[in-house]
Every structure is written in structure tokens, then in C-alpha cells.
A = this chain, B = another copy of it.
Amino acid sequence: MFSDDLDKALATFVLANGAAATGAKVTIFFTFWGLNVIKKVSKPKVSKDIFGKMFGFMLPSHSGKLSLSKMSMFGAGDKMMRHIMNNKNIESLENLRQMAIDAGVEFIACQMSMDVMGVDKAELLDNVTIGGVATYMQRADEANVNLFI
């Protein structure tokens, strides 16, 4: 999960949950903008350098702030999409993410992306572990299905 688009995050968790339902071991590696998908709503205060503060200011502070890749319309489209999904009895992004956690889907945050964007482990969901490209490659090598989203 490289992106932080609301629609792509939905697809990611639907796929992860679908795969986990078949009994498969599933890992999601969150890198670059994807870190915004797994930030806590209530984050502890952590010290940041000037760049970390800028990223913190400009990027979505948690999954509730994510935008659609298309038709976001300054947030109106995002609200509409969430409203429609609720209306059609489809689980919210946050519920789908929790279902993934409950199903044992592994969440790994990219160390390099955290360094670049000044994100602290304490700002990420509790189940998240940290890894690098070697961790990703090891998981990908073992996987039968592997996507860049």
C-alpha cells in the first residue's frame, strides 16, 4: 500500500480480508503515502523536526481524512462515498481495517518512509511493526499474490 487514496485503501482491505478468509497468510506493507492509512486518530505528542512538522501539517492525519483518487471534490466526494457505503451496508474503511487486524493480517510500516516523513511508531496503530525493503521482499517472495496499490 503505497497510496493513501480512500478508494485504494478500501480495495486493499477488501482484498486482504478476502485472502485471509481463504486461510492465507496476508501482509500489508505500508510505504510512502500509505502510512497515512494506519495513523492513530489520537496520537501521542512526539517531537518532530521542521520537515516532520510540515508533513504532519499537510498530510491526512488519520484514515478519516483520506480522499478519493477521483471525484474527491474537496472532500464532498469522500463524504458521499462513505455515506453511500453505509447506506448499502458495506463496512467502513475503519471497520474493514479492524477486520483485517482481527483476522491476523500483518501490518508493516516502511522504516525509510517513516524517516522521510518524520512519522514516529507511536503515531501508528498498535498492531503495526516496522520493516524495510528486505522485509517486504521476503514476504513478497513467499506470496502467491502480490500487488502494488
A147 and B144: CB pair below 8 A? no
User: Do A14 and B134 touch (CB < 8 A)?
Assistant: no
Assess whether A88 is in contact with B115, with CB atoms less than 8 Å apart: yes
Tell me how many chains of this kind the complex includes: 3
Q: B-facing mask of A70-109, CB < 8 A → 1, else 0?
A: 1100000000110011011010000000000000000000
Q: Are A134 and B58 in contact (CB under 8 A)?
A: no
User: Residues of A within 8 Å of B, CB-based: how many?
Assistant: 46
Give the segment of A15-23, A38-46, A120-128 that binds chain B: A15-23
A8 within 8 A of B: yes
The residue from B8, B59, B137, B143 contacting A18, defined by CB atoms under 8 A apart: B137
Contact of A2 among B11, B19, B140 (CB under 8 A): B11
Task: Name A3's closest neighbour in chain B (CB-CB).
Answer: B69
Name the one of B70, B71, B116, B137 contacting A84, with C-beta atoms under 8 angstroms: B116
Known: A58-B71, A145-B146, A147-B147. A14 touches B133 (CB 8 A): yes
A13 CB → nearest B CB, Å = 10
